């Protein structure tokens, strides 16, 4: 009886656990589709510098993966389908392993990643005037970041030639992910004589580093919480997988 109770408890706890995952994934997917097909878009505090197209893709992919995990977890737990429980366990294990490897590489190869990022951003600025559709989202992100964070260039305004309008303090100009007509245009005024067109002096690399240093604790808490949830999911699914193979009606009671 105790074994049957443990099996039922594990099964329904795993079901509720993954039902929350499924609902969360549905919300992320719905939000991503809403942003993608909305004519006006919606402002998201703290993410104004991310183009809505890129943000919608991230939300849709995250939502789809979360829904898939929740589906296998819910159905596998409720119906005790060992195949689905095994797939769920494998997916969670792969996801957890990928996050662990990524975190280790980010810590041990930080200087290499930083150097690669610097080179990549410098090349993007050099290729800015060319018509390369593959870089449009990154270019747009950089321009909106410059306007919103009041920075210029990755290492400084010297990166640009000519300097775009997003590098200047402009009056009557609003920049966000849905209104960016000023992007990719040279500023029409003389920065040396017009105070409303002064260049932003801070480099965007410093702004990004400052943001990461400010929010690093929050990021670590979220990452560890997510890893803990995934570990719990793998343990529960493995326990249910093993228990589901036992026929308790044939087990003698003493």
pLDDT, tens only, 129-152: 666 666 676 777 788 888 888 888
Specify the pLDDT at position 52: 60
Note the Cα 43 to chain centre separation in Å: 17
Q: Answer positive or negative: Cα dihedral of 185, 190, 194, 198.
A: positive
CB 73 within 8 A of CB 233: yes
Report the percentage of the chain scoring pLDDT > 70. 71
Q: Helix (H, G, I), strand (E, B), or coil: what is residue 45?
A: coil
The token duo for 136 is: 């449009």
Start-end of H helices in 38-151: 52-79, 82-108, 110-126, 136-149
What is the value of pTM for the model shown?
Answer: 0.64
CB 98 within 8 A of CB 227: no
Specify the pLDDT at position 254: 43
Specify the pLDDT at position 108: 83
Is the pLDDT reported for residue 71 higher than 70? yes
CB 226 within 8 A of CB 176: no
Average pLDDT over residues 226-242: 84
Q: Helix (H, G, I), strand (E, B), or coil: what is residue 163?
A: coil
Other C-beta atoms within 10 Å of 77: how many?
A: 26
**For 164, how many CA atoms within 13 A lie in the half-sphere containing its CB?**
26
Model confidence at 39, in pLDDT bands (50, 70, 90)? very low
Q: How many residues does the chain have?
A: 254
Cα separation values, 54 from 51, 57, 61, Å: 5, 5, 11
Model confidence at 24, in pLDDT bands (50, 70, 90)? confident
Which of these ranges, 49-63, 90-104, 109-123, 223-237, has the smallest mean pLDDT? 49-63
Specify the pLDDT at position 16: 83
Average pLDDT over residues 241-253: 55
């Amino acid at each position: 009886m105790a074994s049957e109770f443990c099996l039922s408890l594990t099964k329904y706890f795993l079901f509720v656990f993954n039902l929350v995952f499924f609902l969360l994934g549905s919300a992320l997917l719905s939000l991503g589709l809403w942003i993608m097909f909305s004519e006006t878009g919606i402002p998201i505090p703290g993410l104004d510098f991310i183009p809505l197209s890129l943000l919608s893709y991230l939300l849709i992919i995250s939502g789809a993966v979360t829904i898939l995990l929740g589906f296998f977890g819910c159905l596998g737990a409720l119906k005790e389908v060992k195949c689905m429980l095994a797939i769920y366990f494998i997916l969670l294990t792969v996801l957890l392993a990928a996050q662990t490897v990524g975190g280790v590489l980010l810590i041990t190869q930080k200087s290499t990643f930083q150097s690669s990022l610097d080179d990549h951003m410098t090349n993007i600025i050099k290729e800015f005037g060319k018509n390369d559709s593959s870089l449009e989202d990154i270019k747009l992100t950089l321009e909106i970041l410059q306007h919103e964070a009041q920075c210029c260039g990755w290492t400084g305004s010297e990166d640009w030639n000519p300097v775009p309008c997003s590098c200047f303090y402009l009056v009557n100009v609003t920049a966000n992910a849905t209104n960016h007509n000023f992007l990719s245009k040279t500023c029409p005024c003389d920065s040396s004589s017009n105070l409303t067109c002064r260049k932003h002096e801070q480099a965007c690399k410093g702004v990004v580093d400052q943001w990461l240093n400010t929010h690093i604790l929050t990021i670590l808490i979220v990452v560890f919480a997510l890893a803990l949830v995934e570990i719990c999911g793998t343990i529960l699914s493995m326990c249910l997988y093993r228990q589901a193979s036992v026929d308790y009606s044939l087990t003698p009671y003493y």
